[in-house]
Structure 1
């Protein structure tokens, strides 16, 4: 996920939800207020999750899914 997607995710959680606006002017004002507050405190994200971390995670998920899969029953002949 890139930083724009993260920003919009934050906006969704902190500004838009719950959707209890009386009109579009209220939405506009709430977004403008959030933008000022966010820009005053925002810091760049420090990514710590590497490609290797992703590979390891996907490997563990695959192994877990294989362990949870039901064993195949022998076919009756």
Structure 2
């Protein structure tokens, strides 16, 4: 399925054809949280970041917050 689109984001073009809905149509036992998590682990964070710029941007924002917390000595 991925090869049909320029980016993974293109697969998610409507609520009716979201990746989880497509997977359910191919495999009735598909569980979005369980199987999606396993797929993400298999793919790896480096590939996910490279293929998904919006996801990478979100992670960068979280990393910046964490760095800011460390620099300022903030505790929980």
Is the pair's TM-score, using the shorter chain for normalization, greater than 0.5?
no
- Structure showing greater radius of gyration is 1
User: Normalized against structure 1, the TM-score is what?
Assistant: 0.29
RCO comparison, higher one (Cα < 8 Å, 6+): 1
**Structure with more helix by fraction:** 2
